[in-house]
Amino acid sequence: MGVDASGQPTLDEIEDCFVEVVAGRLSRDEADRWAARWVSEDGIVWDSLSWWALDLLCGIDLPAGESGCYLHDDEQVRTWLAELRKRRAL
């Protein structure tokens, strides 16, 4: 995933991260590490939608106890992607 001229990911790239996870082309661990880099970066001012989406991605790989399942299942991730697209359309 790339970044824009300012050095930070665009909302398109953040959405693409969700798309790649949903499609199984990007692991949850990879998505989490990518988002965590940006969430923890000092000095970046995010718009509210980008921050909301990055915050969801940062933690997308959290386990649900010892079951081997994720705290947020695949359906939840698809719901987040749909919500992101809905909010972008407003």
Q: Report pLDDT digits (tens) over 46-58.
A: 999 999 999 999 9
Mean pLDDT of 8-34: 97
Q: Find the domain containing 44 and state its range.
A: 11-89
> Which of the 8 DSSP states describes residue 4?
-
Which range has the worst mean pLDDT, 6-10, 54-58, 69-73, 78-82? 6-10
Q: How many domains does the chain have?
A: 1
Would you say residue 30 lies in a domain? Answer: yes
Would you say residue 67 lies in a domain? Answer: yes
> Which of the 8 DSSP states describes residue 78?
H
Predicted pLDDT at 67 = 87
Would you say residue 5 lies in a domain? Answer: no
- The answer, as to whether pTM is greater than 0.85, is yes
Biggest CA–CA distance in the chain, Å, is: 42
